[in-house]
Amino acid sequence: MNIIEDIDIEKEEIMNKIRELVVISGKGGTGKSTIVSAFASLAKNKIIADCDVDAADLHLIFNPEIKEREYFIGGNIAELDKDKCIECGKCIELCRFDAIRKDFYIDSVACEGCSVCSHFCPVHAINMKPSVSGEVFISNTRFGPFVHARLEPGGENSGKLVTEVRKKAKKLAEEHKCDLIIIDGSPGTGCPVISSLAGADIILVVTEPTMSGLHDMERVIALARLFKLSPSVCINKYDINTDMSNKIEEYCQIEHIDFLGRLPYDNVTTKAMIESKTVIEYSDCEFSKHMKLLWKKLKDNLTVNG
C-alpha cells in the first residue's frame, strides 16, 4: 500500500466519523438559534454552521473573527449595452417581471435572470452577468471554527448558499478532524430547509406550544420524512401553554417521533443574547440545566447512530 492510498483511507475514515446535527423549526421565533448556541458551548471537537442565511444571527452571540470570505454568486442579471441597443422594445414586450422600463433601464432588483431578453434581442445588446447575492465566511470563535453567510436583501438562491455553507463546514471538519457539525437550519419548509436537511444524521425540530407551532412542526416533520430522516422534537417555552405542550408530546408518541424534552420559558435567554453569550455561559439557571439534559440525549443519539 502506497502513501496516497494511506492518505485516502485516512480521509475516508475521518469523513465516516463526521456526524451532522441539524436544528430546524417549522416557524421562526421558536428559540432555535438559542438552542444551537447552547449546544456550541457544550459540544467538543465540532464545527458550527449557520445555515439560516436569510436571517443569520449566531454571529451576534459568537463575535466571530473572520478569517476567510468569498462572494456568493446566486445567479445572473441582465445588463444592457446601450451602444448596441436599437430600442426596438422586444425586451420590454417579453419581460414577464417588468424589469425593463420604457427608457430601457434594467431594474436589477426586479430582474429574475431568466435571460429571455438576452436570447431574443435581435442585436445582442443584452448580456447576462453574474450577480453577487451574498458572502460566505469562515471564522474563528471561542467555541471553535464557524461557517456562516450573509444573503443580500432580495438575494437569490438561498438554498444554494446553504449548500455552500455545509460544504465548507464539512471540509473544515475534515481538516480539523472534528467528528461533529452543528447546523442552525432555516425555519419553515422552503429551499434553504431542504438544503439543510439533505444528508443529515440527526434532526432536532424545535417547536413552541401554540397552534401555529404544532401545525408548522407537522409540516417540517413531513418534509424530513420525505428524505427518509427520523426527526426528534423538543418544546421550547413549554410552560406558557401546558395543554398544548401535552398535545405535542401525544402527537409525537402517536407518530413514533423521539420526544427529547421540554424547555421552560425564561427571559434569561434574552439577557444572555444581549451580553453576546450563550445561556450556558450566562447562567446556571433552570433553563441551562434543561439544555444540558437535552444535549446529553442528543449526544447519546449521535453515539448510537454513529
pLDDT digits (tens, 9 = 90+) for 184-222: 998 888 888 888 888 889 999 999 999 999 999 999 999
User: Each residue of 52-64: pLDDT tens digit?
Assistant: 988 888 999 999 9
Among the listed residues 39, 55, 20, 26, the one whose alpha carbon sits nearest the alpha carbon of residue 233: 26
Are the CB atoms for 183 and 49 separated by under 8 Å?
Answer: yes
**pLDDT value at position 302?**
76
Three-state SS across 123-188?
CCCEEEEEEEEEEEEEEEECCEEEEEEEECCCCCCHHHHHHHHHHHHHHHHHHCCCCEEEEEEEEC
Average pLDDT for the chain: 89
Three-state SS across 216-251?
HHHHHHHHHHHCCCCCEEEEECHHHCHHHHHHHHHH
SS3 190: coil
Return the C-alpha cell found at 304: 448510537
Confidence band, pLDDT 50/70/90 cuts, at residue 16: low
**pLDDT value at position 306?**
40
- With 80 as the cut, is the pLDDT of residue 28 above it? yes
Q: Which residues pair with 22 in a beta bridge?
A: 183, 203
Are the CB atoms for 209 and 238 separated by under 8 Å?
Answer: yes
Return the C-alpha cell found at 306: 454513529
Confidence band, pLDDT 50/70/90 cuts, at residue 178: very high
Mean predicted confidence (pLDDT) in 142-148: 96
**pLDDT value at position 126?**
95
- With 50 as the cut, is the pLDDT of residue 5 above it? no
Q: What is the pTM of this model?
A: 0.84
Please tell me the number of Cα atoms within 13 Å of 150 on its side-chain side: 12
- With 90 as the cut, is the pLDDT of residue 8 above it? no
Are the CB atoms for 222 and 236 separated by under 8 Å?
Answer: no
Return the C-alpha cell found at 86: 436599437
Number of Cβ within a 10 Å radius of residue 98: 10
**pLDDT value at position 10?**
46
User: Each residue of 235-263: pLDDT tens digit?
Assistant: 999 999 999 999 999 999 999 999 999 99
Chain position carrying cell 397552534: 211
**pLDDT value at position 237?**
95
What percentage of the chain exceeds 70 in pLDDT? 93
**pLDDT value at position 232?**
95
